[in-house]
């Protein structure tokens, strides 16, 4: 039985996937030969096409992708559920060290996919373990709540505009109000269900309690943040979290004469950035240590929105420390959360 499985896995194709926000770049070694680089959309239909291709004719596949966050999660879940497919989600640092050992000097999406093919074949294959069912359910519920909140905001704007349109009769306004009440009921019901899931899961509850220890993060914000953070690979660093959220600074230079101020990249999980925004505003208003930090940035010439963004980034890194060290929020360590991470 074991021998048969070993023979079967030696015959499996080796697949490396470089995951982008919109596109998957796929390298495949089949029967000792590399196939042409292939590209698939990074969405449900693209995932299905990829799986059909690598399992066509009853073939088996061992797949590696990097644990770069949200863009690869749905793909990893689809691969994990597929028959005749094994998936490994590799640590980016391990892949980089492996690439350096191969003396790779170029970094393109196809080249990264080829490195992952080599990684599959030469390194110990560690099957990926997906996030818990509770964590995935919480993410789905939180995203549904966010969608309903957006719909409610749009309806409120319509109701406000209707008050200035003489032709808009009372039937329309009544219909908008009825829809707002229904949306609110759905939001409240889903929020209660989310909290029920959290309270039934000791790990989720532990992290939830750490989140609400921050003055500025209440129940709804804690649910949104936890839903996006608990599905991330556990070995991601604080800096990888900030990059994943699109809160990492990006520098702009052109030649020797143009150097624009650094801005956040915004290349990442927009939902996570949105979930951090209101807590940052509330924390600046009500948490003295955070308020002093934001004011110091403005005094040094930063715009108010830049100060808010810096608070969002520091909050995220502080949350990483809280989760990793299993401690509540400490405002005294807020100004240098990365130093706190590294010295703890």
192 lies in the same domain as 251: no
pLDDT of the residue at 268: 67
Question: Does the residue 269 lie in any domain?
Answer: yes
Tally Cβ neighbours within 10 Å of residue 55. 16
Per-position DSSP letters for 274-316, written without gaps between them = HHHHHHHHHHHHH-HHHHHHHHHHHHTT--HHHHHHHHHHHHH
Residue closest to 335 by CA, chosen among 307, 302, 303: 307
245 lies in the same domain as 332: yes
Q: In total, how many domains does the chain have?
A: 3
Question: Does the residue 221 lie in any domain?
Answer: no
Domain final residue pick, 158, 182, 200? 200
44 lies in the same domain as 146: no
pTM summary value: 0.74
Question: Does the residue 175 lie in any domain?
Answer: yes
106 lies in the same domain as 186: no
CATH number at residue 82: 3.30.420.40
Alpha-carbon separation of residue 313 from 41, 100, 191, 308 (angstroms): 30, 30, 26, 9
139 lies in the same domain as 118: no
295 lies in the same domain as 239: yes
- Retrieve residue 83's tokens: 């028959």
pLDDT of the residue at 95: 83
6 lies in the same domain as 48: yes
Question: Does the residue 265 lie in any domain?
Answer: yes
pLDDT of the residue at 255: 44
92 lies in the same domain as 183: no
Instruction: Report how far residue 199's alpha carbon sits from residue 213's, in angstroms, rounded to the nearest whole number.
Output: 16
Instruction: Report how far residue 5's alpha carbon sits from residue 142's, in angstroms, rounded to the nearest whole number.
Output: 41
Question: Does the residue 127 lie in any domain?
Answer: no
- Retrieve residue 76's tokens: 């990893």
Instruction: Report how far residue 344's alpha carbon sits from residue 341's, in angstroms, rounded to the nearest whole number.
Output: 6
Phi, psi dihedral angles at 65 (to 5 degrees):
-140, 165
The rounded Cα 313 to chain-centroid distance in angstroms is 14
Question: Does the residue 206 lie in any domain?
Answer: no
Question: Does the residue 177 lie in any domain?
Answer: yes
117 lies in the same domain as 139: no
pLDDT of the residue at 323: 95
Domain final residue pick, 101, 122, 143? 122
The SS3 of residue 233 is: coil
93 lies in the same domain as 184: no
pLDDT of the residue at 287: 93
Say if strands 258-264 and 249-254 run parallel, antiparallel, or are unpaired: antiparallel
93 lies in the same domain as 191: no
8 lies in the same domain as 112: yes
Residues of the chain scoring pLDDT < 70: 1-10, 67-70, 165-168, 249-268, 335-344
Structural domain of 185: 133-200
Instruction: Report how far residue 117's alpha carbon sits from residue 29's, in angstroms, rounded to the nearest whole number.
Output: 7
The residue whose two tokens read 């196939």 is 35
Domain final residue pick, 70, 103, 122? 122
Question: Does the residue 128 lie in any domain?
Answer: no
């Amino acid at each position: 039985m074991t021998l048969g499985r070993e023979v079967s896995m030696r015959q499996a194709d080796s697949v490396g996937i470089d995951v982008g926000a919109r596109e998957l770049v796929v390298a495949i070694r089949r029967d000792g030969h590399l196939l042409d680089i292939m590209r698939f959309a990074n969405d449900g239909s693209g995932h299905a096409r990829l799986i059909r291709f690598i399992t066509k004719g009853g073939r088996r596949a061992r797949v590696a992708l990097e644990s770069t966050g949200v863009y690869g999660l749905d793909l990893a879940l689809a691969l994990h559920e597929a028959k005749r497919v094994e998936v490994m989600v590799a640590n980016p640092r391990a892949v980089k060290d492996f690439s350096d050992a191969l003396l790779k000097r170029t970094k393109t999406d196809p080249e990264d996919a080829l490195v992952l093919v080599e990684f599959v074949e030469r390194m110990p294959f560690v099957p990926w373990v997906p996030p818990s069912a509770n964590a995935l359910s919480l993410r789905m519920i939180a995203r549904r709540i966010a969608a309903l909140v957006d719909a409610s905001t749009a309806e409120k704007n319509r109701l406000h505009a209707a008050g200035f349109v003489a032709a808009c009769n009372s039937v329309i306004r009544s219909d908008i109000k009825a829809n707002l009440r229904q949306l609110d009921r759905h939001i409240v019901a889903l929020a209660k269900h989310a909290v029920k899931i959290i309270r039934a899961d000791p790990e989720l509850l532990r992290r939830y309690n750490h989140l609400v220890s921050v003055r500025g993060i209440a129940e709804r914000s804690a649910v949104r943040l936890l839903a996006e953070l608990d599905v991330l690979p556990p070995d991601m660093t604080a800096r990888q979290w900030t990059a994943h959220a699109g809160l990492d600074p990006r520098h702009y230079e052109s030649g020797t004469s143009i150097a624009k101020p650094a801005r956040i990249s915004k290349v990442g999980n927009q939902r996570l950035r949105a979930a951090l925004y209101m807590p940052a505003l509330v924390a600046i208003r009500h948490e003295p240590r955070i308020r002093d930090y934001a004011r110091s940035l403005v005094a040094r010439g930063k715009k108010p929105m830049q100060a808010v963004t810096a608070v969002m980034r520091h909050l995220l890194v502080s949350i990483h420390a809280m989760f990793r060290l299993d401690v509540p929020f400490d405002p005294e360590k807020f100004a240098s959360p990365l130093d706190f991470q590294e010295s703890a």
